[in-house]
Amino acid sequence: MKSLTALISAAVLLSAAPAVAQELNLAPADRADLQCMALVAVMAGVAMEEGGDESASVQMAGMSGGLMYYLGRLEGRSPDVDWLAQLTAYLAKVEAEDFEAFAPRCSKELIEKGQALVDFGGKP
């Protein structure tokens, strides 16, 4: 958990950095999943900063699942890529407005997967 917390803290700090990273050369599916992983990392960082109450812990658990979901998708397609380094590079260049553009897509994906798990859990 400490490693995840460190990753999230770094993601939050890097998200405010100037656009210094060179353009990432990614396949469209990889770029889409990296965008969502970045969004989840930043959201987890915000939840972590907002306090240590029970709701923040629940939010962090959900964000951890989202991070692992997108990291797993990326590693499944390209296991030899250091996706955490790619995340760091992406966060160094992404602007806050960019998150607004892909947040609806990422949210929809996570909600659909979450609902699929709920449905699966309700089967006899």
Could you tell me where the DSSP H helices lie in 50-82? Answer: 54-77
- What integer is the mean pLDDT of 48-74? 80
Read off the tokens for 92: 């160094």
Lookup result for tokens 């949210």: 107
pLDDT band at 119 (very low <50, low <70, confident <90, very high): very high
- Report yes or no: 33 and 70 within 8 Å, Cβ to Cβ: yes
Tokens 């890097």 found at: 14
- Rounded Cα distance between 78 and 100, Å, is 27
Task: Output the pTM of the full model.
Answer: 0.74
The per-residue pLDDT for range 66-77, each reduced to its tens digit, is: 999 999 999 999
